[in-house]
Structure 1
Amino acid sequence: MTHLAPVLIESSTILLPVRPPETVSMRTRDGVRLDADLYRPDAAGVWPVLLLRVACGRRTALTSHYAHPRWYAARGYVVVVQDVRGCGTSDGRFRPFEAEREDGADAVAWAASLPGSSGVVGLYGCGYAGMAQLLTLAAAPSALRAVAPAFAGWDVFSDWAYEGGAFRLADAMGWALRMAADSARRVEDGAAHRALSDAALRLPLDDEIPSRPQALRDYARYAPHYDDWLTMPTPGQSWDALSPRALLADMPPDVAIMQIGGWFDPRLAGTLDAHDALAGRSRAPVRLVVGPWTAAGPQDGPSLDSLQLAWFDRVLKGEASQAVERGRAVRLHDVEAGRWHDLPDLPAATTAFWLSSDGLATRQGGRLSPEPGELAELDVLVHDPRGPVPALGGHAVPDPGRFDRASLDRRPDVAVYTSLPVSEPLRLAGRVALDLWIEADAPSFDVNAVLSVLRPDGRVLPLTQGHARVEPGDPTRPLTIALRGVCATLAPGSALRLSLAGACFPAYPINPGTGAEPGETRRVDALPITLLIHSGPDRPSRLRLPLPLPLSRDGEDHASASKGGMMGSAGPFAAATRQTSRL
């Protein structure tokens, strides 16, 4: 296995002078005017076009994730930054995702005809702009040659509105408030803008109905999609009409695709799903890069620009890049070792670690073992809505990332299961899932699962997370929870830890236990819920990991590992100590 850093070098093209930006406009097929800023080299010749279509205002968009468009123009591109319908200075009404397929196709055709264009177009952008790229891809505009969606997802229902059946409270509310404030600004409604922007800065989660705060009730006209999302808690045709997952289901794209994800981006699960779906049927190159970034922007590691420039140079200009050429389809950043791994695909969760305890996982801690337990065991966890387990870092909160959760794991309403420490480096790379035998004394309940590394110094740093809302009648024998993906090499002395709780607030609403929708649930409606977590031969709760062969200390695959990896023995896990305390 090679460990290659993503492309860090810039294009070897001599930097070109750049003309002052021009404001240009186009008309969509239904006559709506869309405004854009145009940047192009001040030199003779034609160049590929890079088109960025944003919902947050084209000037604001230039301050977050990417280099200024002048940077790309100086390296031989025409760059167009466009306000989508109903945003910035563009005409029309903003309804999330509804018009991006047709508007995107019209924008690509228009951009290909701009002065200085070579007639080929690449799309880039993150978040909403990333989803707009995938929706444009579904329209198959002839001039489109490459897309580079970042932090985008794949399905509006499961990547933007809900996760595991639970409403994405903090994420969805924060975005709705920001978009509503921008809509109020466009019509110069000062009172609405002030109330909505203040609420966006400090989410009004203490309102009587936490999922439907007063600011969004008073000014629902500026974010009508939020109520729609709250009242459609199950997948269906309305969601499919907005989602690349459904619109690209039977389409083999001819466009080169490089998806960029971050380990603590709220839409990573969809990014992984999109790669699996597109790589299996695309006739053009498909790449996936998951790095140490969050949806808020680069936190560490290479810039998105260095990745994109080499990609666009390769697929739009035909310029060979050694790093791009030698890279494999999947490139993952190792959050523990700090280096990169290249893989042919994303490994599945195939290696089981079994949960067991003495019935005291919420007090002394239980065990994660590579072999199933022989005795039937039961852990009791009580969720109290008056003091729900708070969200700390992870991917679904306003402040995402890796934060020490050791104190959180000591709470009596959190059950923890810890492995033995590893005696040699051990790499996890790929998908993670949990099969949990669980029941409750309420018709509906939530389960939040966090996989962390327990370091020798006692810090507990999250690797990945999953959440599930169980509605009345849902199967729980077992309940399967997807924990997204992971890439981490455990150092000797480190251990794995699984933490389970009945809440993760405000990432997701507090479950009242009744089965009521979050938009109808008042704070006073929530009741305590008792959860029973089973393990043992008849109800074998287990964590499934993407665990390849152990690594030697030089980081390469360990040639002497026994057949079957961790399934049949303790492998690299030290047998001398049992680390089951909660530290």
Structure 2
Amino acid sequence: MLTRDCVRLDADVYRPDAAGKFPVLLMRQPYGRAIASTVVYAHPSWYAAHGFIVVIQDVRGRGTSEGEFQLFAHEVNDGFDTVEWAAHLPGSNGRVGMYGFSYQGMTQLFAAQARPKGLKAIAPAMVGYHPGPDWAYENGALLLQAGVGWAIQLAAETARLKDDRVAFQALYQASRQLPVYDADPTCPDVLQRYAPDSFFHDWRQHPPDAPYWQSITPQLEDVDLPMLHVGGWFDPYLRGDVRLYQAMAARSQFPQLLWIGPWGHLPWSQHVGARDFGAAANSPIDRLQIQWFAHWLRDEPAQLLNQPPVNLFEMGSNRWRAFDHWPHESDRQRWQFSSSGLAAMHSGDGKLLKLEAPFEDVSPTVPSIDTWVHDPWRPVPSLGGHAAIPSGAFNRAAIDGRSDVLTYTSDPLPTALVVAGQVEVSLHCQGDRPSFDLSLTLSEVRPDGTVYNLTQGYGRFTGIPNAWQTHVVKLQPTCFQCAQGQALRISISAANFPAYAVNPGVAIAHASPRLMDAQITTLSVKCSHPDSYLLLSTN
């Protein structure tokens, strides 16, 4: 097809082997259309066999499509033009739906922004809806491993299309061993040399609240479409999925469905990290999408519309749970930290205590203090969670044994504990540098001593050195059941590298100067303090 500015965009079109008029399913992606996101979805021919014309298109400047690729820059206009073109394909009934995850999810939102007449329903999955706080940064901290890895991947594809073999080979090699130990890890030499126009240079230079991000954020205030939202508990963009779902559910006249599995970014299977979540964790999304689009594009009944709109996979019990709405935060448990000051040195010293009395009545007059030292020479390493590669659940007992990790562990639970929704940690703490990071991990501790992470959060904070301040970190939303006899644990550190860039300790929070300039930081947390607690949404 030709865009309004006469750029040719190429697509593969899969058709049902039958006569008649059929609706169109469209995916717009930057990775070579033959892949067609089969890393998480069934092949387009499977969808075509269920009565859809399926269009898989290379976006501008990718695959064999003409033009110059610029991250998100052309997706509004090109999305509009493509939807209208697809609606008028031979054999089309004029109705178009869009599906896809990650970048392919964002192309749906940008096309929807343009409000093409033919677009009737979408199914955005794993989207960083607001790219600043939902994709590039988390609570002010740059996602290093995921960001650099993706930038190198896109740069390598650009080099391949230009037949620049030297650049492609250098970038390909860098993708297999990410250059996170360069002088400035957020701007590795390979990107400076072979991809000086990479989007990541802009991302690292603009903090998440900068005006820049508005230019690459889908503007959906005037958009109302049926949306099937899909996310994963260990996916780095879950914040964006939940933000989009909540915004649309609050104002849409159409159904908004949300399904969140125990998955990382890919694949969507029962094995996530080192845990097997059972057969129920294998992706139901392909079959759900058939129902979804059959309803909106050819008026067939859909059983999923007769069910509650929010479906969350409960880790531990390994089953899907249905909710009438995103879990409210009204039913919340508050847990407090306690120790003798050796929570970094002995795993049994730090205690996690469930509060039964009114919150303001339980704190002693003199809180205990846990102090630890963050050494950038040996930062606490990443292991699973949502931001590291690979993602998922792993046994982190060895990491929790480090002396630069505070651990607070509950007694074995007398009954199973079910948590669904938001998890929040507040810490009354201080650091001796103008800036420091806080990495929080909530885990289950099993009777055999293994420790499997359930959800994590990360934040970058600035303040006056050695001044006591309260900092709140919202962890990744989650849904789990911690069984009777298991324990809960909160682990606290000042690094999670290379998932996030190491904080150099300077006053400009988003800056990442040379590795050799990073400063040793001493941090302290007041336990048994009213502003130091874990908050769980129990549902």
TM range (shorter): over 0.9
Q: What is the CA distance between 1:515 and its match in structure 2?
A: 3.1
- Corresponding position of 1:70: 45
Q: What is the CA distance between 1:540 and its match in structure 2?
A: 2.4
- Corresponding position of 1:393: 384
What is the CA–CA distance in structure 2 between the aligned matches of 1:439 and 1:520, rounded to whole Å?
21
- Corresponding position of 1:22: none
What is the CA–CA distance in structure 2 between the aligned matches of 1:356 and 1:317, rounded to whole Å?
59
Which amino acid letter does the alignment assign opposite residue 241 of structure 1? S
Deviation digits for residues 279-328 of structure 1, max 9, x if unmatched? 00011110110002211221222333122112222222222233x03321
What is the CA–CA distance in structure 1 between the aligned matches of 2:153 and 2:11, rounded to whole Å?
21
**518-527 vs 79-88, greater mean Cα deviation:** 518-527
* 2:485 is equivalent to residue 493 of structure 1: yes
* 2:291 is equivalent to residue 317 of structure 1: no
What is the CA–CA distance in structure 1 between the aligned matches of 2:416 and 2:374, rounded to whole Å?
36
Q: Secondary structure at the match of 1:211?
A: coil
Deviation digits for residues 416-441 of structure 1, max 9, x if unmatched? 11122212222111111111111100
- Corresponding position of 1:305: 286
TM-score by length of 1: 0.86
- Corresponding position of 1:254: 224
Say whether the 8 Å CA contact 1:509–1:518 is kept in structure 2. Answer: no
Q: Secondary structure at the match of 2:36?
A: helix
Say whether the 8 Å CA contact 1:355–1:540 is kept in structure 2. Answer: no
Q: Secondary structure at the match of 2:9?
A: strand
Q: What is the CA distance between 1:131 and its match in structure 2?
A: 1.2
Q: What is the CA distance between 1:62 and its match in structure 2?
A: 4.6
Q: What is the CA distance between 1:517 and its match in structure 2?
A: 6.7
Deviation digits for residues 331-386 of structure 1, max 9, x if unmatched? 00011111011011222443321222211111224122222432412110211111
Deviation digits for residues 226-269 of structure 1, max 9, x if unmatched? 1111111232322012113xx12x33x43110111011111011
- Corresponding position of 1:353: 335
Instruction: Name the CA shift for 1:361/1:146 in 2 (closer, same or farther; >3 Å).
Output: same
* 2:348 is equivalent to residue 373 of structure 1: no
Which amino acid letter does the alignment assign opposite residue 357 of structure 1? S
Instruction: Name the CA shift for 1:276/1:485 in 2 (closer, same or farther; >3 Å).
Output: same
What is the CA–CA distance in structure 2 between the aligned matches of 1:477 and 1:527, rounded to whole Å?
20
Instruction: Name the CA shift for 1:62/1:160 in 2 (closer, same or farther; >3 Å).
Output: closer
Instruction: Name the CA shift for 1:160/1:540 in 2 (closer, same or farther; >3 Å).
Output: closer
Which amino acid letter does the alignment assign opposite residue 143 of structure 1? G
Structure 1 residues 371-520: aligned runs within 5 Å: 371=355, 372-374=362-364, 375-472=366-463, 477-516=469-508, 520=512
What is the CA–CA distance in structure 2 between the aligned matches of 1:460 and 1:156, rounded to whole Å?
32
- Corresponding position of 2:277: none
Q: Please give the root-mean-square deviation of Cα atoms over the aligned residues, in Å.
A: 1.7
Q: What is the CA distance between 1:29 and its match in structure 2?
A: 2.1
Q: Secondary structure at the match of 1:508?
A: coil
Q: What is the CA distance between 1:118 and its match in structure 2?
A: 0.8
Which amino acid letter does the alignment assign opposite residue 193 of structure 1? F
Which amino acid letter does the alignment assign opposite residue 282 of structure 1? S
Instruction: Name the CA shift for 1:157/1:35 in 2 (closer, same or farther; >3 Å).
Output: same
- Corresponding position of 1:115: 90
What is the CA–CA distance in structure 2 between the aligned matches of 1:228 and 1:489, rounded to whole Å?
41
Structure 1 residues 167-246: aligned runs within 5 Å: 167-221=142-196, 223-244=197-218
Which amino acid letter does the alignment assign opposite residue 319 of structure 2? R
Which amino acid letter does the alignment assign opposite residue 290 of structure 2? L
What is the CA–CA distance in structure 2 between the aligned matches of 1:70 and 1:473, rounded to whole Å?
59
Instruction: Name the CA shift for 1:138/1:341 in 2 (closer, same or farther; >3 Å).
Output: same
* 2:131 is equivalent to residue 140 of structure 1: no
What is the CA–CA distance in structure 2 between the aligned matches of 1:476 and 1:197, rounded to whole Å?
46
What is the CA–CA distance in structure 1 between the aligned matches of 2:484 and 2:100, rounded to whole Å?
39
- Give the counterpart of 1:283 among 233, 253, 273: 253
Q: What is the CA distance between 1:516 and its match in structure 2?
A: 4.8
* 2:514 is equivalent to residue 530 of structure 1: no
- Corresponding position of 2:54: 79
Say whether the 8 Å CA contact 2:125–2:231 is kept in structure 1. Answer: yes
Say whether the 8 Å CA contact 1:434–1:544 is kept in structure 2. Answer: yes
What is the CA–CA distance in structure 2 between the aligned matches of 1:414 and 1:225, rounded to whole Å?
34
What is the CA–CA distance in structure 2 between the aligned matches of 1:347 and 1:518, rounded to whole Å?
32
**184-193 vs 346-355, greater mean Cα deviation:** 346-355
Which amino acid letter does the alignment assign opposite residue 289 of structure 1? W
* 2:534 is equivalent to residue 543 of structure 1: yes
What is the CA–CA distance in structure 2 between the aligned matches of 1:240 and 1:404, rounded to whole Å?
39
Q: What is the CA distance between 1:518 and its match in structure 2?
A: 6.4
Instruction: Name the CA shift for 1:373/1:519 in 2 (closer, same or farther; >3 Å).
Output: closer
Say whether the 8 Å CA contact 2:37–2:100 is kept in structure 1. Answer: no
**299-308 vs 326-335, greater mean Cα deviation:** 299-308
Say whether the 8 Å CA contact 1:354–1:373 is kept in structure 2. Answer: no
Which amino acid letter does the alignment assign opposite residue 141 of structure 1? P
Paired positions, count: 516
Say whether the 8 Å CA contact 1:348–1:432 is kept in structure 2. Answer: no
Q: Secondary structure at the match of 2:46?
A: helix
What is the CA–CA distance in structure 2 between the aligned matches of 1:62 and 1:236, rounded to whole Å?
32
What is the CA–CA distance in structure 1 between the aligned matches of 2:141 and 2:124, rounded to whole Å?
25
Instruction: Name the CA shift for 1:520/1:501 in 2 (closer, same or farther; >3 Å).
Output: closer
What is the CA–CA distance in structure 2 between the aligned matches of 1:298 and 1:536, rounded to whole Å?
41
Instruction: Name the CA shift for 1:540/1:516 in 2 (closer, same or farther; >3 Å).
Output: closer
What is the CA–CA distance in structure 2 between the aligned matches of 1:523 and 1:407, rounded to whole Å?
26
* 2:334 is equivalent to residue 341 of structure 1: no
Instruction: Name the CA shift for 1:411/1:348 in 2 (closer, same or farther; >3 Å).
Output: farther
Which amino acid letter does the alignment assign opposite residue 66 of structure 2? D
Q: Secondary structure at the match of 1:276?
A: helix
Say whether the 8 Å CA contact 2:461–2:509 is kept in structure 1. Answer: no
Unmatched tracts of structure 2, length 5 or more: 271-280, 356-361
Say whether the 8 Å CA contact 2:333–2:535 is kept in structure 1. Answer: yes
Which amino acid letter does the alignment assign opposite residue 226 of structure 1? F
Instruction: Name the CA shift for 1:472/1:216 in 2 (closer, same or farther; >3 Å).
Output: farther
Which amino acid letter does the alignment assign opposite residue 536 of structure 1? S
What is the CA–CA distance in structure 1 between the aligned matches of 2:51 and 2:181, rounded to whole Å?
51
- Give the counterpart of 1:42 among 5, 14, 17: 17
Q: What is the CA distance between 1:216 and its match in structure 2?
A: 0.5
Say whether the 8 Å CA contact 1:405–1:459 is kept in structure 2. Answer: yes
Say whether the 8 Å CA contact 1:360–1:379 is kept in structure 2. Answer: yes
Which amino acid letter does the alignment assign opposite residue 494 of structure 2? G
**61-70 vs 223-232, greater mean Cα deviation:** 61-70
* 2:233 is equivalent to residue 263 of structure 1: yes
Unmatched tracts of structure 1, length 5 or more: 1-25, 549-583
